[in-house]
Structure 1
Amino acid sequence: MSRPGVLLDRDGTIIADDGYVGSVERVRFLDGAVEAIAALNAAGVPVAVVTNQAGVARGHFGMTDVEAVHAHIDAELARAGAWVDLWLFCPYHPEGIVTGFARASWDRKPGPGMAYAAAEALDLDLSVSWVVGDRPSDIGLARAVGARPIHIASGAAAPGDPVDPGVTTVPDLATAVALVLSDTGARPDRLPTSGFPRARYESAGFFAHDYSEELARALATVDLGELERAAKTLLTAYERDAAVFACGNGGSASIANHLQCDHGKGVRTGTDLRTRVISLSTNIEVISAIANDMGYESVFRFQLESLARPGDVLVVISSSGRSPNIVEAMECAHALGLQTIALTGFEGGPARELASASIHVRSDNYGVVEDAHQVCMHLLAQYVRQSRIAPDLVASTVF
């Protein structure tokens, strides 16, 4: 089903328009722009950047320079847990000097090409979408495709450029986004519907590049305060000889088993800790017996009732956070006096709400979520381990 989205101009809207920005060194974010994009992401509003880059046609820089600038912007956005769902740019100009790019283009704003491409890739209904930019060409694009324009008065418009008096004008992107969110009634805590992949790839190399960027964005959404809480929970549990249990289904079961290895053998190596770590996902005989006699939803709860003691810790790994056996295990853990750590993705489900420490990865791709969970499992193990190694030996220790 088509949905509303936001098409953003780049120069003068997200970054300063200092004239043909074709290198990373010249990128300067406008105040509040990163936070504004993060707000759209958090509200589940797709974000596409549609930008004219005539500097390619005019010979100021090349296509790879534009892509490098966009990769740099992506990296900076990821540090704030933000992202652009789709980058589109037009390198053509009829007055260009570079062969192959010196021509008119349907994609060059106010032409509609990039807007239609964004609508197809992100499943947007342009009639209920917005175009936000600082130039008359941005307003023209909105008019061409029936979208709603918002003009940013950045001062970058050329002298004499007319601004349609019927268009809402705001001082910056943050104000524009506030208008968008108030109009949609979007909830900031909704799962962003970014989706990956958004189209079929013909190159494994390009897929790998974009997948790694998607993983970086997902990791950047993890709440570091919750990660700190989880690390402290594990470290204190190991210090007082409490047991740590882990469980998950499918790919998450392999992470639970891997946790037993790295938090058991790994954390113990070179430290004074004698960790007791047990994966509830590893014993197929016990699991199948419980599932056969009582139901699969009880496979972790039944084991906890036999093995756990007050003060122990349960770590659950669940991409959806909705698996009945995970939820039942967490409810059992709380009843038995255990602390709980949940690694979740998608919207987090009940597991996200039940956890004492919630490590939530904001992504709707199972592979990305599981990779991010594996990273979090590893970094928790290594953090705990280095906490118990003499400071002068940390740098010489292989982790």
Structure 2
Amino acid sequence: MTRRPSTEGPWLSDGDGPGGMRRVAAGLPAAVLFDRDGTLVEDVPYNGDPERVRLMPTARGAVEAVRAAGIPVGVVSNQSGVARGLLTRAQVDAVRRRVDALLGPFDVWAVCPHGPDEGCGCRKPEPGLVLAACERLGVPAGRAVVIGDIGADVAAARAAGARGVLVPTPVTRAEEIEAADTVAPDLLAAVRLALTLPGRGAAMASSGAPAAGEERR
């Protein structure tokens, strides 16, 4: 039986950050949106336990650098564990609060709770999470940067008209690195690229191609 496409949009949370529209210096992104698992925090499959949240290297410095520039920060995250019956919204929210506690409050969270076969418009690589986060922040998607660890993150950025920066990990596929417009060796380097490189298409090569991964959240 063919499943009807999901009409439910992403889960949006404003967080405890400053929120609202802020004047950002000319030449800087209007917003920086981070993937969660494998980017800001270690990728623990279908994690609903805040005690298992561990920061990725340079995550704190990267987020602080964006805030220091006066740029709104957000998180865009696929959480198909909800559709699979492995996570509840309360658990997703508990992990969100733990990430906020470790890194400081984000201005917006956009979470897709759907599975890969539901046909929603928000599950990355679809653009819905990026567009919804930018709309909530009151910024044009074309002036946003999305930072993530797999091809779906940068593909979602491209589909939304935003710029994507890939930070490879051992689960990033070689073809995803080759297809990315911009690649950085770590999260802090990704933020520095986002704040200094003009436009899309500039690239920074990573050192080697990490091994291919399996299920992508």
Does TM, scored on the shorter chain, surpass 0.5?
yes
Q: How do residues 317-336 of structure 1 correspond to structure 2 at under 5 angstroms?
A: none
Residue in 1 that maps onto 2:112: 90
The structure with higher relative contact order (CA 8 Å, sep 6+) is: 2
1:67 aligns with 2:93: yes
Letter in structure 2 aligned against 1:149: G
1:167 to partner: Cα distance? 1.7
1:21 to partner: Cα distance? 2.0
Residue in 2 that maps onto 1:148: 163
1:163 to partner: Cα distance? 3.2
Match of 1:21 among 47, 56, 61: 47
CA RMSD of aligned residues (A): 2.0
Letter in structure 2 aligned against 1:125: P
Secondary structure (helix, strand or coil) at the match of 1:162 reads: helix
1:40 aligns with 2:66: yes
Q: Following the alignment from structure 2 to structure 1, what is the Cα–Cα distance between the partners of residues 124 and 155?
A: 7
* Residues 149 and 33 (structure 1), Cα distance of their counterparts in 2 relative to 1, 3 Å cut: same
Provide Cα deviations, 1:192-239, integer angstroms capped at 9, x if missing partner: xxxxxxxxxxxxxxxxxxxxxxxxxxxxxxxxxxxxxxxxxxxxxxxx
Is contact 1:13-1:172 (8 Å) kept? no
Q: Following the alignment from structure 1 to structure 2, what is the Cα–Cα distance between the partners of residues 166 and 136?
A: 7
Q: How do residues 231-270 of structure 1 correspond to structure 2 at under 5 angstroms?
A: none
1:146 to partner: Cα distance? 1.3
What is the count of residue pairs matched by the alignment? 172
1:161 to partner: Cα distance? 5.5
1:53 to partner: Cα distance? 0.3
1:162 to partner: Cα distance? 3.2
Unpaired runs of 5+ residues, structure 1, are: 96-102, 185-399
Residue in 1 that maps onto 2:154: 139
Q: How do residues 1-399 of structure 1 correspond to structure 2 at under 5 angstroms?
A: 4-78=30-104, 83-95=105-117, 103-157=118-172, 162-183=176-197
Is contact 1:17-1:156 (8 Å) kept? no
Provide Cα deviations, 1:235-262, integer angstroms capped at 9, x if missing partner: xxxxxxxxxxxxxxxxxxxxxxxxxxxx
Is contact 1:5-1:130 (8 Å) kept? yes
Provide Cα deviations, 1:69-111, integer angstroms capped at 9, x if missing partner: 0001111223xxxx3110110010145xxxxxxx221111111
Letter in structure 2 aligned against 1:120: E
Secondary structure (helix, strand or coil) at the match of 2:176 reads: coil
Unpaired runs of 5+ residues, structure 2, are: 1-20, 25-29, 199-217
Provide Cα deviations, 1:28-62, integer angstroms capped at 9, x if missing partner: 10111012111111111111100000011112111
Secondary structure (helix, strand or coil) at the match of 2:76 reads: strand
Is contact 1:127-1:146 (8 Å) kept? yes
User: Normalised by the size of structure 2, how large is the TM-score?
Assistant: 0.73
Provide Cα deviations, 1:162-184, integer angstroms capped at 9, x if missing partner: 33445221122111111122248
Larger radius of gyration: 1
1:26 to partner: Cα distance? 1.6
Is contact 2:150-2:176 (8 Å) kept? no
Provide Cα deviations, 1:109-135, integer angstroms capped at 9, x if missing partner: 111111111111112122122111011
Letter in structure 1 aligned against 2:98: H
Q: Following the alignment from structure 2 to structure 1, what is the Cα–Cα distance between the partners of residues 146 and 177?
A: 14
Letter in structure 1 aligned against 2:107: D
